[in-house]
Structure 1
Amino acid sequence: MTRLQDLHHPSAGTTLMSEWLTGTAERSRAAVDALLHEWAAPQAPSGRLAQHVFLSLDGTGLFFYAQWTSDDDHLAWARARRTEVVSRVDALVPGIERPGLIRTRLVRSVVHDEKRPAGLFAVRTVAAGDVETATAPAPGLLAAHLHATPDGERTIVVTEWADVTSQEAAAGGDAAVKRYTHAHSLFDDHTGRRP
């Protein structure tokens, strides 16, 4: 499976994360298919560097990890085009819940194992002072990627795990942790497609 370090675009000035709650695996897949059609449109946003989508382990939602040159570039696109794009997806998959967008900046990655493939991506929010616990070595933890929010009070931690069992053992039943598998990535050609 893909590793997050292979997905991260080095020119990213901002990383946007959002969740879409679809309710079922079938609706999640339909939403992904609709988005792939939208992403393939000939007029890609000039500030978008990469867009990644992950499927929740239970199939009931999607997690988006988008990299843009800056927040300003994303906001300009959102004002001009977001409603149009989202409404076309909603026409095909009505009733998607979107809890909101989180703007972050990748501040640090701690890689424990570069070679093993990731079987699971887990996402959770921690207080800024609790990041050391989130990056501590654990059986099956391959890497932890720390994304600071603009207010500096929270850190979104995206961890890569060898498998679900390892992550569940380390989480100890923490219901706040959300689990995903990688579904699709797009690197925009106008910024230099990564291999």
Structure 2
Amino acid sequence: MELRVDSVPGPVTAPAALFGTWRVGTPRRQRETAEAVARAWRSRPWPGPGLRSYAVLAGDDGSTLLHASQVEDLDDVPAQDLSWKREVDAAVPGIERTGVASGRSRRGTPAYGPAAEAGCVVLVTREFDGPDTARAEGLVEALFEGSAGTPPADGLLSAHFYVSPDGSRVFNYALWTSAEAHRRAVEHPPAPLAADERWQRAHSWPGLRSTGFQRFRPLLGLAPPAG
């Protein structure tokens, strides 16, 4: 199959996304697993038009892999020939699959630069104390309102917010030029942004139990054949 294969993420355009994580143990096994995924997918037909893209990214912990899929509809995810996972397991034994989360797109920033320039992808996960879609969507709106008067951070290419189907989690899948650019933005937020009452309120949103993030380095990007 003539897949489009790259080492950088493509633009984020789909209405929904799936985020799966694997633990593989070492940076070398991260690379080997991504190579095995590419080989397995090349030998199979693309699952269908409902899958826009599939990316594999290496966590900065040296062990985790993030599998990010852009899909048209969470209720109609294209069926796959899952035997490809057995091929990957044969090539890299001992992979621990730690779960898949999903979300529907709520809002996204403009593209401040091309996705192909992304050297780092950051996945921010905000968890609530229970399901409530309206509350989760309200948090996304508050984050956008709080940052409306502040220019984008240096190195931010785009940020895309998703709400889980039950409203218990909010995900921010953000493309950055580098991990260092994201680190600087976290350590030195603009004073007007930090002082904005709406921004402060968003970070103490009712029911918000935790906020965490992890940085990833793009390893593999797959897309269906053009045309």
TM-score (norm 2): 0.68
Determine which of 38, 55, 58 is the counterpart of 1:55: 58
Q: Partner of 1:183: helix, strand, or coil? A: strand
Over the matched positions of the two proteins, sequence identity in percent amounts to 28
After TM superposition, the structure 1 stretch with the greater mean CA deviation from structure 2, 106-115 or 91-100, is: 106-115
Seen in structure 2, the aligned counterparts of structure 1 residues 72 and 111 have a Cα distance that, compared at 3 Å, is closer
Seen in structure 2, the aligned counterparts of structure 1 residues 13 and 170 have a Cα distance that, compared at 3 Å, is closer
Which residue type is aligned with residue 118 of structure 1?
Answer: A
Which residue type is aligned with residue 77 of structure 1?
Answer: A
Seen in structure 2, the aligned counterparts of structure 1 residues 73 and 130 have a Cα distance that, compared at 3 Å, is closer
Which residue type is aligned with residue 157 of structure 2?
Answer: L
In structure 1, the residue matched to 2:163 is 148
Matches within 5 A, 1:61-76: 61-74=64-77
TM-score (norm 1): 0.77
Give 1:180 shift.
0.9
Determine which of 36, 39, 42 is the counterpart of 2:41: 39
Give 1:105 shift.
1.7
Give 1:186 shift.
1.4
Seen in structure 2, the aligned counterparts of structure 1 residues 183 and 104 have a Cα distance that, compared at 3 Å, is same
Give 1:2 shift.
8.0
Larger-gyration structure (1/2): 2
Mapped partners of 2:28, 2:51: distance in 1: 28
After TM superposition, the structure 1 stretch with the greater mean CA deviation from structure 2, 58-67 or 136-145, is: 136-145
Seen in structure 2, the aligned counterparts of structure 1 residues 167 and 175 have a Cα distance that, compared at 3 Å, is farther
Over aligned residues, Cα RMSD in angstroms?
A: 3.0
Consecutive unaligned residues of structure 2, counting only runs of 5 or more, are 1-5, 128-135, 188-209
